[in-house]
Structures are given as structure tokens and as C-alpha cells.
Amino acid sequence: MKLQILISSLMVLALATSCGSDSSGGGGGSTNGLVGTVSTVLSQANKVSGVLDTAKSNELITTENLVADEYLMTAWWDTTTGLPHPTDSTAPSVTPKDWMGAQLDPDAVTVDNGSAVNVFGRLKTALGIFCALGIAAESAGQAIDSNGYLSAGTFSITFTADNVATMLSTCGIDASGNVGASVSITVDVETGTYERSYTFDAPLSQVYYVKNSGGEVNIATGETGSYKSRTVVSMNQNTGILKVEYVGDGGNRYGYRLYYDEGSDEGHVLTYEDGTRYRLAGKPNTGDAFSISLKSSSVASEVVKEGCVASATGDLLVDGSRCTASGTRLAGSSVNSLDSFFTAFAGTSGTDWGTVSDSTAISWTNETNMSTVAFAP
């Protein structure tokens, strides 16, 4: 079993344990559909990280592995440094191999402020407050139906020692500094792409649009302020297809797209991080290698670099071309022809990225056009 699949399973188990039938508080609380929705989305997204077996919690691919497999070392993949250290801005630059280790670790965060460094962590952070809402609403005595919906209206939640402890253990949200404070939440019925909206008053000032019915899960949320971001999720539990899009701007520009088809065991990630961009494709459950196509001013002066990477070790099996498609590998696609696509994204103002509405939706449909349909402004 891939290590990251195991981590995902343990995360779901932890959620089930902390939201068990005991409703006495202090880390307990009864199961509710709102928390379960978040758990399901994160679990499915994290499966894509299973294309690499060696990603570990808060740990890059180790230099010990690199030295042990020295005979497989290639100049651009695991000897050339230049990419910024993904978790420590004060540390020396790293190789693409180390950098990708952090990109495929859902738990990787920066040492200075604990912020996420990849699509998995960004998604977890964006949905964390929504997960906490499920804990707080239940603590406040609000009814949550089987779809995870709250009734329309406005109510107040108060942060208590008990529900704050559960938010941390279940959702990864540390609200300990807010014990005793209250937040007003307005619930509205929506139609179409979403069926509910949840608007948080200050100090959170955040809105979530949600649909969870008929096997369809849609979520959209935005973050305003000095850092603007928008996260959109579309998951069809009937077809096993998950799509995630994240855009963020706080001086540096970030864009992520993730596509996962559980039925065909296909995972694809498209990433832009302040000039470095890559496309990755692999089979999280049954694969033995994944395809990578990377372009960065920090690596070979923006000459596209491609390879087929072993899932078990992170070693480059084929240098210069992506994997040949097979029952255990995907060929993926190149980022070399996407210069105009990423230039357009980098030039987007990002002014409206913190704003979402009932019409906000993912505009691309599959692993092919996820790299051709432009990011919305």
C-alpha cells in the first residue's frame, strides 16, 4: 500500500474517532454530514499524492536516499540546486527531487508560520474553517441534516474549550485564542451549482458555497485581505472524479489544479508557483512510476525538463522524456507549450480571487483541458 494512501486512511480514521457517538464534548461530538463532507474531499485529494511512496510527513525526500541511489543521479533532477526550499525560506535552495518531495507531501508546511506549500495543504487549509463550522454548529445545538446542511437563518457560535479542542483534533484549526468569543453565521438556501451558503461575520469574514446531494459535492470559498485566494472543489461520488482548483496572490502568485479519476486510477496535478510550473501524472494506487514535466528559471534556465520517476524511491528512471503509458504508468503531458497559458495567469490581477458566488465553478472538465482553459480572473 502506498504510504500516502495509508496516511489518508489514518486521517479518516482520526476523523471518525474524534466525531464518534459520544457527544459529551472535549474532543468528542457526534458524527455529522458537514464534517464528513470535508473528510471525504480531503481523503480523495490526498490519494493523488500516493504517486510517490517516499513522501513523509513534514519531510523531504532524504539526502540519504539520494546518496544510496547515486548511480541513478542526473544533473538536473537530484544534483542541481536552485529551487527555493519549500518549507524553510532561510535554508539553502534544493534540487527538483527534494522540491517535488514536498509537493507530494500533504502535511508539508513552512517552519515560520505553518502555511501550506502544495495543492493538498492549500485545500486542507481552505476547508478547515468549514470543518470547524460543523463542530461549532453542533456544539451550539444547530440541526445538521444528512447532507451536512444547516437550516436557513442566522445563529451565533461561541468558542468553548471543548469545541476548540475538537476543532484542532478533527479539523486542524487552532482557535484556542478565541475561547469565549462569538461569531455570527448566516445560512442561505442557494439553487444550481450550490444549495447552501454559509457567511461568517468578523473576525472570520469568509463565505462557503456548498452542494452535497445526489453524489455531487461542490464547494467554493474565498479569502480576502492582503492575501487573496479562491478554492473550488467539484467531486462526483458516482463517477469517482474529483477536480480541485486553487488560486492565490499575496505578492507571489500560486495556481493549482488537481484531477483524480478513482475508477481509472489516474491522478494529475498542474502547478504554478511564482514562476516554477509543472505537470505531473501517475496512478496513485497501481502505479510504479509517474511522469513529470517541469519548467523553472531555477532549473536549466527555463528549459523544460522531463522524466519518468520511480514511485518507490523518487529516482529518475528515464531522463529527457516522460513515462510510456502502460497499465502502471501515465504519459502525462508537457508544460513546454504552456508558456502563454501561464503568462496569462501570472498577468491576471487577482483582484477578485477572494470573491466567490453561487455561480463560481470550475471551468475545465478533464485532465486534458485542465492545462488549456484559462484561470478565471
Structural domain includes residue 148: yes
pLDDT value at position 11? 30
Beta strand ranges found along 121-215 (DSSP E): 153-158, 182-189, 196-200, 207-213
The boundaries of the domain holding residue 137 are 3-371
Per the structure, the count of domains in the chain is 1
Q: In terms of Cα–Cα distance, which of 74, 4, 62 is closest to 309?
A: 74
CA–centroid distance for 281 within its chain: 16
User: Which pLDDT score, from 0 to 100, does residue 28 have?
Assistant: 37
Predicted confidence at residue 348, as pLDDT, reads: 84
**Which pLDDT value is given to residue 70?**
44
In a domain, 133, yes or no: yes
In a domain, 367, yes or no: yes
| All cell numbers assigned to 155 | 445563529
- pLDDT tens string, the chain, 377 residues long: the values are 333 332 232 232 223 222 322 322 333 344 688 888 999 999 999 999 999 985 433 334 444 443 344 445 567 898 888 999 999 999 999 999 999 999 999 999 999 888 899 999 999 999 998 899 999 999 999 999 988 999 999 999 899 999 999 999 998 888 888 899 998 999 999 998 999 999 988 666 789 999 999 999 999 998 887 788 999 999 999 999 999 999 998 888 899 999 999 999 999 999 999 889 999 999 999 999 999 999 998 888 889 999 999 999 899 999 999 999 999 999 999 999 899 999 898 888 877 888 899 999 999 999 999 999 998 77
pLDDT of residue 129: 86
Is residue 66 within 8 Å of 82, Cβ to Cβ?
A: no
Contact (Cβ atoms closer than 8 angstroms) between residue 271 and residue 290 = no
Q: In whole angstroms, give the CA distance from residue 159 to residue 349.
A: 36
Residue 104 lies in a domain: yes
Residue 225 lies in a domain: yes
Residue 274 confidence (pLDDT): 86
Going 362 to 118 to 263 to 12, the CA torsion angle's sign is negative
Residue 377 lies in a domain: no
Predicted pLDDT at 366: 96
* Within-domain flag for 18: yes
The verdict on residue 376 lying in a domain is no
